[in-house]
């Protein structure tokens, strides 16, 4: 057995976290890490206390399910709820963040975004450079 690199290790954990997703339209996992320590995780699912897509169905607007909170926002919210500082951390995502999630990530103080597959929004590349947030595409790396 080959020991995985730290980046591959955390991305594999993000893949596991994504299996908790409750919206079958897109399963995404997020892991926030600093100094090789996991600070928070998140997956896409409904607002706390509200039924999930897999229980009640999708809430569609403009061909997008809006019942769910995205994985990265759930990971940031989880850290806030538990008083865990995430400033100067990294986030591992199974898919690149959409534009609204990218803004939350940047404003939360996360400095590096690792992502598996590219998802939708090219403008994150331009604004990552402008904000000094590093984007790392892991879609072509062995996992």
Active site residue 134: no
Residue 135, classed as helix, strand or coil, is: strand
Alpha helices for the chain (secondary structure H): 6-18, 53-56, 71-81, 99-107, 123-131
User: Ramachandran region of residue 87, left (φ > 0), alpha (ψ -120 to 50) or beta?
Assistant: beta
Q: What are phi and psi of 5, to 5 degrees?
A: -65, 165
Q: CB of 133 within 8 A of CB of 111?
A: yes
Which of the following is catalytic: 12, 55, 72, 130?
Answer: 72
Residues annotated as part of the active site: 72
């Amino acid at each position: 057995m080959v020991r995985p690199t730290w980046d591959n290790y955390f991305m594999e954990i993000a893949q596991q976290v994504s299996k908790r997703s409750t919206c079958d339209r897109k399963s995404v996992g997020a892991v926030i890490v600093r100094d090789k320590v996991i600070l928070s995780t998140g997956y896409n699912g409904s607002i706390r206390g509200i039924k999930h897509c897999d229980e009640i169905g999708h809430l569609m607007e403009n061909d997008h399910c809006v019942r769910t909170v995205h994985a990265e926002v759930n990971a940031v919210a989880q850290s806030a709820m538990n008083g865990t500082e995430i400033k100067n951390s990294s986030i591992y995502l199974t898919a690149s963040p959409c534009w609204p999630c990218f803004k939350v990530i940047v404003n939360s103080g996360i400095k590096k975004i690792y992502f598996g597959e590219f998802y939708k929004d090219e403008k994150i590349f331009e604004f990552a450079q402008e904000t000094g947030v590093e984007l790392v595409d892991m879609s072509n790396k062995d996992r």
